[in-house]
Amino acid sequence: MSTTRTIPELTAPVEDYLKVIFELEAGGGVAGTNEIASTLGVAPASVSGMVRRLADQGLIAHERYRGVQLTKAGRLAALRTIRRHRIIEAYLTTALGYPWDRVHDEAERLEHAASDELIDRMAAAIGEPTTDPHGAPIPTRDGTLDEQPLQTLDAVEVGARVCVQRVGDRDAEQLRYLAELGIMPGRRVEVLARAPFDGPISLRVGRLTRTIGAGLAKRILVGP
Amino acid sequence: MSTTRTIPELTAPVEDYLKVIFELEAGGGVAGTNEIASTLGVAPASVSGMVRRLADQGLIAHERYRGVQLTKAGRLAALRTIRRHRIIEAYLTTALGYPWDRVHDEAERLEHAASDELIDRMAAAIGEPTTDPHGAPIPTRDGTLDEQPLQTLDAVEVGARVCVQRVGDRDAEQLRYLAELGIMPGRRVEVLARAPFDGPISLRVGRLTRTIGAGLAKRILVGP
DNA sequence: GCCATAAGTTAGTGGAAGCTAACTTTCTAT
DNA sequence: ATAGAAAGTTAGCTTCCACTAACTTATGGC
């Protein structure tokens, strides 16, 4: 039994699919064709095509008309790409002064071109970070991901003081807005009020009071 | 008359071809199909195919059976890629401690993925270098390349003291060897002897004497 | 339990870039 | 001056990854 480190040279699109499937799986068992398609901005038929190829390569298990799941090999490849992505994001902000709303797109391209050596050197240069600038945990070199159970901000009871842990990294405009409000990982906030029927939520951030919609609050993860 | 900054999104292979054509042109008017093919490690027929596409895009002028030359647009695109490549090389050595024999391959991939913003930030972070680690000049943002007229080390007369300006960046093994000998850009060397018939050349490097073959000496560029 | 709609798949096409094999043009050496 | 070698091209194929159009399967509301 060999644990041969086969490096089958995945293409950039393949890495993108695996990453997306991994993230969709995290939020509910299997990933659907249409979900994958809309996340990647691609036609559903294109996904069916790629799904065949990924299954042939042993990276996913596919049950026709039922959805898709990563195999062990697929999960490892996905985590490798996610590690690259997040280390690049962290490096760009810490070492090159990138604003946090612009690192995602850059990392999206670099993650497919950077060697393992580069990723390791970047990580070392900024002190082996454990999360990216948006608070997402960075998988280790051997593919372990430390996912903490977090609450969304819209579910926090009124009066509680919580610590912002993580926000979505995809929407640049949203990130710019959150930065303006001072809502970023590490920041403590207190929930002052929550209007019913998915109404706005009032927060104390530092010594200021801010009010955000329930939709936005749902994309902010907090912990104790 | 508009100087519209059209960004026609060149593919990575296209950028590679343009770069190689630029470099081949520098050493003799036109670039030949076979030269391009062997430099890129590709079949001559593949070059013919790509040449058609590049000509269609107005990046090169092609005279059938005669060779290929960059147009103004092609030259600009080539210089842009070369700038990226060399800044990345410089950044990797200066900011991330890369050894100079391993930056070429890394840059070869990153140059197609990095945004202009990233390149500019890298350059700024290491003090706007004017040459890469192998001594090659870095084109400016607007596509000006300051090529100094240099001599190859094998042509230097015995007794002369010269300054190493530039060495080839493609061959990693050669770079490791040169580093071992202490022959790198900025180093002063004195030619002690030169055997006839392309024989070996003896040098004083620092306080040591080193002897190298004429072939290697031909790939070392020196100035006063 | 049936059927409309949502979800997923297949078939066929297109473009980019590579390949081999076979051909044509140019160059060079006698 | 010309034949053979070297250089360049064409034709035809392959793989990857996207697309549209048309089809099939699954599901949920009545």
Spell out which chain A residues touch chain B, with contact meaning CB-CB distance below 8 angstroms: 92, 95-98, 102, 105-106, 109-110, 112-115, 117-118, 121-122, 125
Alpha-helical segments (H) within A126-213? 172-181
Provide the 8-state DSSP code for A174.
Answer: H
CA-to-C1' span, B49 to D9 (A): 9
Nucleotide nearest to A62 (CA to C1'): C8
Residues lower than pLDDT 50 in chain B? 2-5
- Reported in sequence order, the residue ranges of A21-70 that DSSP labels E, i.e. its strands, are 60-63, 67-70
pTM: 0.92
Nearest Cα of chain A lies from the Cα of B106 at a distance, in angstroms, of 7
CA-to-C1' span, A66 to C3 (A): 21
Cβ neighbours of residue A128 closer than 8 Å, sequence gap 6 or more: none
Residues lower than pLDDT 70 in chain A? 1-8
Predicted pLDDT of residue A5 = 47
CA-based nearest residue to B21, from B81, B65, B64, B103? B81
CA-to-C1' span, B60 to D15 (A): 27
Q: Which helix (H) or strand (E) holds B44?
A: helix B44-56
Predicted pLDDT of residue B8 = 67
The CA radius of gyration of chain A, in Å to the nearest whole number, is 19
Chain C bases closer than 7 A to any CB of the protein: 7-12, 16-22, 25-26
- Provide the number of CB pairs (under 8 Å) joining chain A to chain B: 45
Do residue B98 and residue A121 have CB atoms under 8 angstroms apart?
Answer: yes
- Give chain A positions within 8 Å (CB) of B114: 106, 109-110
Q: Could you tell me the two tokens for B222?
A: 């020196």
What percentage of residues in chain A have a pLDDT greater than 90? 83
d(C-alpha B74, C-alpha B22), whole Å: 9
> What is the pairing mode between strands A67-70 and A151-152?
unpaired
Predicted pLDDT of residue A73 = 96
